[in-house]
Amino acid sequence: MCRIRRAKCQSGRPFPTPLALVAPTAACCSASIMTDLIWVEGSWQAASWACDDRALHYGDGLFETIRLNAQGEAPLWAFHRQRLQQGLTALHFPAGSLDTIEQAWQALPLAARQPGAGKLLVSRGSGPRGYAMPSAPELRLLWQSFTPPSWAYQRFPQGFVADLGQVALSRQPLLAGFKHLNRLEQVLARQSMPDHCQELVLCDTSGQVVEGCMSNLVVCWQGHWLTPPLTQAGVNGVVRRWLLQEQLVSVADITPEMLLTAESVFFCNTLNGIIAVHRLADRVFHHKDGQHHIDYLQQRLEALFC
């Protein structure tokens, strides 16, 4: 875990996680879980979620949280697609799975996009009892739309108040980088977050800084904008991918000690956008040049959604 003295967080409240994915019904083997839209036999339908689905039993699947523009388009879809491909390959999904997802995405009705954001869940589908993968898996997709929050800088104009997380992320290179459905570390980290903080800095079990609980982390250290490598743990977010493609940040190891001497720190994800850290543990950031650069990055990101 991170070895920096903790401090009480100041004012500000975190926004709630948008809409539960599913809501349980009767507790019997024939019961189902009602969802918004499911991709079935080449079309989106209102349907029930099968109780023998491997996503429910083993977290055997992926998900993407997607922000849309006013036209119902996903400006960062190419990066979501990259991450889906990484996850499908890592989890040994059948060849052609990404094509199915692409087909489903293109066919998603405008009415299902209009709320402005959504979660796309990809499951290996139903299967027999046991961990072994089904011999002929049937890809199952779920889409749940919701109204996204405003950009984080609009809700927290002074920036985020963050703390150092006490939940260490496991190092598992086979699962690093993509958004698989096993998120218990993040659940525990989020539960431990002080009430008036908006984020946590999480380290892995070796003590290296990895990311936030819900966001990627970027640090300005000695004039360089750096983000930690995510080869052993963490999620390679779509905003982080965009920043790297635009050569606006570089990848470098970040230690907890570097956070104490960093000029600026910001978090980024698809719903919050790019948000400066005002206070991290005992450290208050006042670097105006860093803040101006963070504002510039957010403006560039926001312009993609116009």
Catalytic residue among 179, 227, 263, 270: 179
Place of tokens 């903790």: 6
With beta carbons less than 8 A apart as the criterion, state whether 198 and 12 touch. Answer: yes
Q: Are strands 37-40 and 43-45 parallel, antiparallel or unpaired?
A: antiparallel
Distance CA 248, CA 224 (A): 10
Residue 211 known to be catalytic = yes
> Which has the closest alpha carbon to 295: 264, 270, 271?
264
Distance CA 253, CA 292 (A): 24
Would you call 62 helix, strand, or coil by DSSP?
strand
Catalytic residue among 64, 199, 211, 263: 211
Catalytic residue among 65, 100, 227, 270: 65
Residue 8 known to be catalytic = no
Question: Can you give the C-alpha Rg of the chain in angstroms?
Answer: 20
- Separation of CA 225 from chain center: 21
Q: Are strands 273-280 and 160-164 parallel, antiparallel or unpaired?
A: parallel
Residue 65 known to be catalytic = yes
> What DSSP string runs through 64-118?
EEEE--TTS--TTHHHHHHHHHHHHHHTTPPTTHHHHHHHHHHHS-HHHHTTSEE
> Which has the closest alpha carbon to 233: 200, 211, 264?
211
With beta carbons less than 8 A apart as the criterion, state whether 156 and 12 touch. Answer: yes
**Catalytic residue set:** 65, 179, 211
